[in-house]
Each structure stands twice: as C-alpha cells, then as structure tokens.
C-alpha cells in the first residue's frame, strides 16, 4: 500500500531516476547519474514546561550529473514535475559544455556496482503526535531540572522524527534505493553557583524510537553533566595523560578518517600520506568498517556512486589497511574505489579491557576532557591545538572541574600514544568508540 504522506512511492522515484538518465542520453550525454529523495519530519521543542517550537519539514529533490566524455555538468532541483526534471537535465548538459576536460571524472567502474541490496532494517517510522512529543519533551526537561536545585534554567528539550526515501541510478544500468528513518531526543540545561554558570546537554538518536534512551534518562544525564561542571578551577601548565570522553574520542577517529580520505590524499594535504601498510597508531588501535549492521546509523548496501560496500578492517593493531576512496579520488591515486563515496559506514573501534573507572585508574593523574572548542587540527602537519574543558584527575579519582585550558600535541603522535580504549562505547553516529586515553599532551592554562 502506498504511503500517502509522500508524494511518490519508492518505486516511482526509482523509475523517475531512470527516466532522467534517458533524457540525458537524448541530449547526447555519454553517461549520467541521478538521485531523487523525499523526506518528512517533525521536531517539537519545549522550554521551562512550555511549548517553544513545532516544526514540520517536507523536502524533495533531484540531482543529476552528466558526462560528455571527460566533461562534467551537474544540476539539481526541488521540483519533481516532469518538465522541471527535463529542464534540470538540460541545464546540467549545458554546464558540461563549458567545463574543462578531466581525465579522472566519470561514473564508478561498472564491475563495482552493487548487485544485491539487502534489507538493513533502516526504516522504522515513528508515528507520534505533536501532543505525545510535547509530553515526552516535558518529561525529559523535568528530569533534567529535577537533578539538582542549582539547575536554574533550561535551553529546552526536543523530540524529533525523520524518515524518507531515496533512489539512485546510473548509466551502468544500476538502480537502487531504500527507505530510512532517524529519530532523536535531546536536552540542554543551565546550572548556577555563587561562582559561575555552566551548561551541558545530552541526546539519544536511533533508527527506531524503541531504541532511544528513555526521555527521563536523557534528561537526567543532561542534568548530571551540567551540575558536575560547576565551580571549575584553573590548573597550571603541564604535560600529562589526557583522557578523551567517548563523544570526543569519535572526533579523534574522524581526524584519522579525514587524513586517509581520498580528497586529502591526492591533494597531498594529509599528515598520513603514503601510510598504507604502515604503523600509524598504537598497536591497541583496531578499527572495523561494518556497512551492513542492522539499524546502523551509517549502514548502506552501496555508496553514493552505487559501489557495493564491504566489511573490512581499516586499521589492524595500528597498521593502516586501507584508504577511504570514491571513484574520482581513487583514479587520481591510481587505486580502486573502496565504496566510500559519501563517507564512512559504521566504524567500530575495538575496546581494550578497561571500563571508565579502569581508564581513570590507569591514567592516575591527568586531564579528563569533556568539551573541545574550535577547530585546531592542521591536516597537513597534524599539529593539534584545541580549547578544552573537563576534569582534573588525581590518583584515578576526579578531583574538580577545569576550564579555560588548551590541549596541544601532534595528531600523528597522539595516535601512536593511545594507551587504552574504554568499553564505555556510545552509539550516536557513524563511529562507535569508547573513551580514549592518550599517554601525554601539553595542557596550557593562564
């Protein structure tokens, strides 16, 4: 039965994507690829027990890329009428006539196309009414405000739902697409003491509403995280072990991914150039890419070019096993696409044996970082410097919060100085990793 909430069915937008290719061929294009998407969503936010915003979104779009030999043109539209699709293809073809030839452009290789599209259980609509969402948001915020009397204000709690379809086709005869969903609950509150004010937040996201953390738990965690930051102190400049909390540890892995991604590699703007098969990190670091995880937040049977995705070990005992490549960057490097056009798919970082308490005990005395400020990584040199806040730890025990500090090192060195990876893994995005302990970094304060 057709879903009346969408203007078109999945089969219909698959057919439309194929029709776009026929139009491109009629214009003389030697090859083409097209993607169509539909999405709907709802976001409800409350603040201080009052409804603040009720938002709905309903989006649709088509993008097409055409090739005339080694010349490329691209255009997109949010109008899916037949005439608009034809006009958009014509615009892309016109653009291609004025572009320079590029020997590396073109569709991904035909032999790499996905031939099977398994059901990865990515579609779980959440048919929640506005009133129900408001009630959940109020429950979440009330739980946060109830943690401590020092929580005096709120930035609100929100409940969001989203789902959609997409279809991709190219001139190799490939057509694929599937529905997906993503939902979330979040909360942010403010605490106040005689010395200062602090804010913090928490959120939960999942493909299915049943997999979200309970609203009261999201609020409670937001409240606890906020209160613990009160009465922060400064520390003296020192060189000590640094523990990155799990949500921030995923950022370290993101930096690694950027350094081994095709665009940075062929532009020679990476601190990990020519690192394939080399030791780039501590032997403790093992990273697996798992594109076919059921309900995975970054699961996909094929990438943005129709290339089939495969499970693989990206880093083995600190040795780099592969790059992250789409077809264009792969050709520039004389390699083959790894099915990563559009990004990575569920990176799983293997934990060592320590839970969070074990990480603190192993660190002894040092800095536990819970917030980073600014974008302080030089991708070419690996130099790393970020504003930070967190907690000072002595003898494996958190002593007091700290703020107004800067942490610095070199990312290439940091990867090699990983001494533990915690079991406190969070599933909030495309990378699943626990807290990461770095042997030493420079911590600078006023």
Per-residue pLDDT of the chain (446 residues; tens, 9 = 90+): 457 688 899 999 999 999 999 999 999 999 999 999 999 999 999 999 999 999 999 999 999 999 999 999 999 999 999 999 999 999 999 999 999 999 999 999 999 999 988 999 999 999 999 999 999 999 999 999 999 999 999 999 999 999 999 999 999 999 999 999 999 999 999 999 987 899 999 999 999 999 999 999 999 999 999 999 999 998 999 999 999 999 999 999 999 999 999 999 999 999 999 999 999 999 999 999 999 999 999 999 999 999 999 999 999 999 999 999 999 999 999 999 999 999 999 999 999 989 999 999 999 999 999 999 988 899 999 999 999 999 999 999 999 999 999 999 999 999 999 999 999 998 888 999 999 999 999 999 86
pLDDT at 1: 44
3 domain residue, yes or no: no
Q: How many domains does the structure of the chain reveal? A: 2
Does any domain span residue 368?
yes
Structure tokens that stand for 146 in this block:
């109830």
Are residue 199 and residue 331 in the same domain, yes or no?
no
Can you spell out the DSSP letters for 54-70?
A: EEEEEEEEEEEEEEETT
Count Cβ atoms below 10 Å from residue 314 Cβ, excluding itself: 23
Q: DSSP for 101-131?
A: P-TT-SPPPGGGB-S--------------HH
Q: Which of 157, 136, 128, 140 is nearest to 218 (CA)?
A: 140
SS3 282: coil
Residues 304 and 434 in one domain: yes
Determine phi and psi for 68, rounding to 5 degrees.
Answer: -115, 90
Q: What is the mean pLDDT of the chain?
A: 96
Whether residues 204 and 236 share a domain: the answer is no
Q: Can you tell me the distance from the alpha carbon of 22 to that of 29, in angstroms, rounded to the nearest whole number?
A: 10
Residues spanned by the domain of 153: 10-227
Distance CA 392, CA 395 (A): 10
Structure-token pair, residue 339: 């099915």
Q: Domain with 53 in it: what CATH number?
A: 3.30.2290.10
Taking alpha carbons only, the member of 102, 24, 31 closest to residue 67 is 31
- Span 287-322, pLDDT tens digits: 999 999 999 999 999 999 999 999 999 999 999 999
- Please report whether residue 2 resides in a domain: no
pLDDT score, position 251: 94
Specify whether 53 is located in the same domain as 101: yes
Q: Do 265 and 138 share a structural domain?
A: no
Q: What sign does the dihedral 434-437-438-442 (CA atoms) show?
A: positive
Question: Of 184, 206, 227, which residue is a domain's last?
Answer: 227
Q: Which residues contact 268 (CB under 8 A, 6 or more apart)?
A: none
pLDDT value of position 445: 86
Could you tell me if residue 247 is inside a domain?
A: yes
375 within some domain: yes
Residues 68, 183 contacting (CB under 8 angstroms): no
Per-residue confidence (pLDDT) for residue 2, from 0 to 100:
54
Pairing of strands 312-316, 287-289: antiparallel
Tell me whether residue 1 is in a domain. no
- Looking at the structure, do residues 190 and 92 belong to the same domain, yes or no? yes
* Same domain? 25 vs 141: yes
Cα–Cα distance measured from residue 28 to residue 71, given in angstroms and rounded to the nearest whole number:
12
Last residue of a domain, one of 227, 242, 270: 227
Contact 257, 347 (CB under 8 A): yes
Residue 15 lies in a domain: yes
Identify the helix (H) or strand (E) that includes residue 178.
Answer: strand 175-192
Picking from 166, 208, 209, 168, the residue whose alpha carbon sits closest to that of residue 59 is: 166
356 in the same domain as 242: yes
Q: How far is CA 362 from the centre of its chain?
A: 30
Same domain, 145 and 202: yes
Is there a contact between 162 and 40 (Cβ–Cβ < 8 Å)?
yes
User: Is there a single domain that holds both residue 332 and residue 193?
Assistant: no
For residues 201 and 153, state if they share a domain.
Answer: yes
Q: Is 4 contained in some domain?
A: no
pLDDT digits (tens, 9 = 90+) for 87-135: 999 999 999 999 999 999 999 999 999 998 899 999 999 999 999 999 9
* Whole-structure pTM value: 0.93
248 in the same domain as 144: no
């Amino acid at each position: 039965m057709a879903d009346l909430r969408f203007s078109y069915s999945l089969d219909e937008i698959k057919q439309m994507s194929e029709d776009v290719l026929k139009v491109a061929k009629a214009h003389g294009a030697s090859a083409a690829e097209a993607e169509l998407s539909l999405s709907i969503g709802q976001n409800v936010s409350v603040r201080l027990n009052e409804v603040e915003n009720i938002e709905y979104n309903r989006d649709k779009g088509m993008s097409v890329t055409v090739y005339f030999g080694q010349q490329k043109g691209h255009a997109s539209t949010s109008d899916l009428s037949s005439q608009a699709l034809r006009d958009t293809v014509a615009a892309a073809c016109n653009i291609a006539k004025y572009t320079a030839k590029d020997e590396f452009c073109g569709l991904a290789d035909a032999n790499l196309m996905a031939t099977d599209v398994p059901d990865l259980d990515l579609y779980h609509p959440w048919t929640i009414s506005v009133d129900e969402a408001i009630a959940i948001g109020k429950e979440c915020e009330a739980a946060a405000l109830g943690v401590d009397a020092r929580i005096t204000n709120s930035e609100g709690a929100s409940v969001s739902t989203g789902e959609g379809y997409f279809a991709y086709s190219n001139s190799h005869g490939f057509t694929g697409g599937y529905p997906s969903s993503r939902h979330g609950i979040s909360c942010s509150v403010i605490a106040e003491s005689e010395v200062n004010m602090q804010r913090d937040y928490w959120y939960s996201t999942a493909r299915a509403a049943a997999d979200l953390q309970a609203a009261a738990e999201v609020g409670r965690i937001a409240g606890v995280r906020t209160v613990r930051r009160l009465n922060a102190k400064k520390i003296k400049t020192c060189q000590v072990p640094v523990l990155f909390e799990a949500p921030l540890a995923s950022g370290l892995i993101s930096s690694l991914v950027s350094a081994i991604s095709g665009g940075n590699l062929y532009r020679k703007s990476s601190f990990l150039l020519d690192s394939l098969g080399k030791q780039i990190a501590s032997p403790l670091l093992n990273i697996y890419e798992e594109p076919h995880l059921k309900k995975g937040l970054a699961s996909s049977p094929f990438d943005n070019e129709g290339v089939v995705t495969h499970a693989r070990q990206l880093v083995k005992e600190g040795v780099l096993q592969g790059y992250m490549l789409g077809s264009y960057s792969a050709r520039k490097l004389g390699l083959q696409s790894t099915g990563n056009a559009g990004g990575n798919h569920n990176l799983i970082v293997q934990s060592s044996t320590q839970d969070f308490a074990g990480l603190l005990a192993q660190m002894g005395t040092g800095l536990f970082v819970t917030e980073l400020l600014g974008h302080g990584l030089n991708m070419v040199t690996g130099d790393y410097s970020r504003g930070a806040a967190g907690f000072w730890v002595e003898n494996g025990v958190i002593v007091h919060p700290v703020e107004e500090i800067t942490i610095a090192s070199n990312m290439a060195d940091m990867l090699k100085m990983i001494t533990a990876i915690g079991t406190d893994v969070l599933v909030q995005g495309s990378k699943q990793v626990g807290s990461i302990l770095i042997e030493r970094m420079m911590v600078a304060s006023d």
